[in-house]
């Protein structure tokens, strides 16, 4: 078994990953991506990392001299230092496509729940308040809404396709317009926010998108404004969002992601116009197993054929030395 590549599993991954990895690889598990948790001997021999949402920092990558590949769980890989990995000739893979439909479904559910206040309505029923009178009419409705999608990529497009069935107007902002789609393109996020009353954020966390959704953008949505985030918390100025919700500058927000997960500011928990989910957009057994399969398939393909299946763009040119 010593000839089997040593794969390091960092953080908690679903059992399906470990079950499959154990068939072909030697495995070590550590609670977080910290090389101090490994024996010096293991550190010298790790050739692959199966990374949880905790990612991989530059010092962690540098502590593993034989590292060839980081297979990251999830499509967003902002927690992995891909720029540093490419310098070290380490390929990084993610799990695109297999989670697209699940995340788009979640975005639609979060949108409807946020606009109509169904979470609040359920809490009202469970608290035994119904016999005292009906739940108040919702101020919001999806009828007549103009929806803007920030990040018209794989998931953004799946959200837009679903929204077509709801008869709402759809526009978007990316750095570049997407060929072959008829939704209205806006060259800046501000232009999109001014043209819409509902902003769905499904953009990746990058230096460029950091806190892109700020007070100015939220204000532009207007008093009937709704902000939905299934992308990353880092793309939002969270204190500005809290202020907009408290001052009712916007109507409501629906959030699956936060700036400092799993810690959610008390002000958001207290906001009756916020609908909050604990980062569950892709979190069905079905989809998490498909993500796990793609993660392991990437490692198998790399160590058997020298090719990763879904390398991230930054590291796509790296191939395995014979
Ligand atoms: P894609 O790469 O297919 O789409 C990303 C889109 O964002 C592209 O259309 C891109 O267009 C646009 N974009 C990137 N940078 C910028 C920028 N600076 N300004 C404006 N637009 C930008 O990714 P996916 O659709 O597969 O996933 C999107 C993100 O969703 C992931 O990165 C992840 O963070 C998040 N996610 C969250 C989940 C959850 O559990 N809540 C689950 C899955 C994903 P262009 O290049 O033209 O700018």
- Asked if the model's pLDDT at residue 21 lies above 50, the reply is yes
What six digits make up the tokens of 232? 């990353």
The active-site residue, picked from 261, 286, 305, 307, is 261
219 Cα–ligand 1 center, Å: 23
Distance between CA 297 and CA 71 in Å, rounded?
9
279 is catalytic: yes
What is residue 18's predicted lDDT score, i.e. its pLDDT?
96
Catalytic site includes residue 243: no
pLDDT of residue 170: 98
User: For residue 1, what pLDDT is reported?
Assistant: 46
The whole-number pLDDT of residue 322 equals 54
Model confidence pLDDT, tens digit, residues 237-273: 999 999 999 999 999 999 999 999 999 999 999 999 9
Please report the pLDDT score of residue 2 as a whole number.
Answer: 54
Interface ipTM: 0.99
| Atom number, ligand 1, closest to the C-alpha of residue 106 | 41
Question: Does residue 281 have its Cβ closer than 6 Å to ligand 1?
Answer: yes
> pLDDT tens digits, residue range 217-236?
999 999 999 999 999 999 99
What would the mean pLDDT of 112-122 be, rounded to a whole number?
A: 98
pLDDT in tens, 66-102: 999 999 999 999 999 999 999 999 999 999 999 999 9
The pTM of the full predicted model, rounded to 2 decimals, is 0.98
CB-ligand 1 contact for 140 (6 Å cutoff): no
Best of 108, 150, 204 for a ligand 1 pocket test (most atoms within 8 Å of beta carbon): 204
């Amino acid at each position: 078994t010593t000839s089997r590549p040593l794969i390091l599993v960092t953080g908690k991954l679903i059992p399906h990953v470990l079950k499959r990895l154990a068939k072909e690889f030697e495995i070590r598990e550590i609670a977080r991506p910290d090389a101090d948790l490994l024996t010096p001997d293991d550190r010298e021999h790790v050739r692959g990392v199966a990374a949880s949402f905790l990612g991989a920092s530059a010092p962690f990558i540098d502590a593993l001299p034989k590292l060839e590949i980081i297979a990251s769980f999830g499509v967003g890989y902002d927690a992995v230092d891909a720029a540093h990995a490419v310098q070290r000739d380490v390929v990084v893979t993610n799990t695109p496509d297999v989670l697209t439909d699940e995340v788009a479904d979640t975005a639609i559910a979060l949108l409807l729940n946020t606009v109509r206040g169904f979470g609040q309505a359920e809490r009202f029923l469970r608290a035994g308040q119904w016999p005292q009178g009906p739940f108040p009419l919702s101020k919001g409705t999806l009828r007549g809404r103009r929806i803007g999608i920030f990040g018209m990529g794989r998931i953004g497009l799946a959200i837009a396709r679903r929204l077509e069935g709801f008869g709402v107007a759809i526009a978007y902002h990316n750095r570049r317009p997407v060929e072959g789609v008829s939704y209205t393109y806006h060259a800046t996020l501000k232009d999109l926010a001014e043209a819409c009353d509902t902003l769905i954020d499904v953009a990746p966390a990058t230096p460029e998108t950091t806190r892109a959704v700020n007070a100015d953008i939220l204000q532009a949505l207007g008093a009937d404004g709704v902000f939905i985030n299934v992308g990353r918390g880092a793309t939002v100025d969270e204190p500005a969002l809290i202020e907009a919700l408290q001052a009712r500058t916007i109507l409501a927000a629906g959030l699956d992601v936060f700036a400092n997960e799993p810690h959610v500011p008390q002000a958001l928990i207290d906001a009756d116009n916020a609908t909050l989910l604990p980062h569950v957009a892709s979190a069905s057994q079905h989809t998490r197993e498909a993500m796990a399969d793609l993660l392991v398939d990437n490692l198998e393909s790399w160590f058997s054929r020298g090719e990763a299946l879904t390398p991230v763009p930054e590291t796509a040119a790296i191939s395995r030395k014979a």
